[in-house]
Amino acid sequence: MPAAKPRKARKPRTAAERAARFGRIFGALDRLYPKAACALDHYDAWQLLVATILSAQCTDERVNKVTPGLFAKYPTIRDFAAASQQELAQDIRSTGFFNNKAKSIVGAARRILSEFQGEVPRTIEQMLTVPGAARKTANVVLGTAFGIPSGVVVDTHVQRIAGRLELTRNQDPGKIEEDLMRLLPQDRWILFSHQVIHFGRNLCIARKPKCGDCPIREDCYSKDKVG
């Protein structure tokens, strides 16, 4: 007998139905990952900023292998500011795009020392003036290091899954963030991103989603949903 086709979820027609659906999705994420946290190892906000810059186009696992030796060699922000960009690039070579990342890290250290008295800034406006800190990086640091909900982190997992669940119809990360900020209460902005990142790594895997084990499958409209 041919395999049964996965049941297609019926899309909600009213605002109340849509709100109920969002509630089920967020509730499922809360049950799956009630204490989801950033996967990048760090001791303080500066180390988190460095680790987040390194994580661009690189796995968190690889970054966590590089940073212990990196922070041992450059223990303070002043050490990074004084570092040779070429030498630092070689220290972080395995994370990819190492020349650009080294330039951003040295620039970030110098900017924070000269403009913010050596303290990582705590507003999105100030963070965005720091080399290497676009909105995603700024939101990671502000949310994880300081508990400040400046926005929603939109990484590749969040971008992909927000689209699959039709939480947004945009492709641009900035517009996706705007959609999610409108949809989510502010006190969920930080946790939501961590939850979705874990969900994307463990269940809603890009190449082979584990739809049969997914508690959100009844509310998922993705065309490639299986089981």
Q: What is the pLDDT of residues 19-76, one digit of tens each?
A: 899 999 999 999 999 999 999 999 999 999 999 999 999 999 999 999 999 999 999 9
Give the CA angle between residues 61, 172, 14 to the nearest 5°: 105
- Tally of domains in the chain: 2
Domain containing residue 213: CATH number: 1.10.1670.10
Query: Length of the chain in residues, anyone?
Result: 227
Which residues are identified as catalytic? Answer: 136, 155
User: Among 119, 146, 173, where does a domain finish?
Assistant: 146
Distance CA 159, CA 155 (A): 6
pTM for this prediction: 0.91
* Co-location of 77 and 130 in the same domain: yes
**Which residue's entry shows tokens 């939850």?**
195
> How many Å is the Cα radius of gyration of the chain?
20
* Co-location of 96 and 168 in the same domain: no
Q: Is residue 129 part of a domain?
A: yes
* Co-location of 69 and 27 in the same domain: no
95 lies in which domain range? Answer: 45-146
* Co-location of 140 and 168 in the same domain: no
Contact 136, 40 (CB under 8 A): no
Task: For residue 85, give the amino acid letter.
Answer: Q
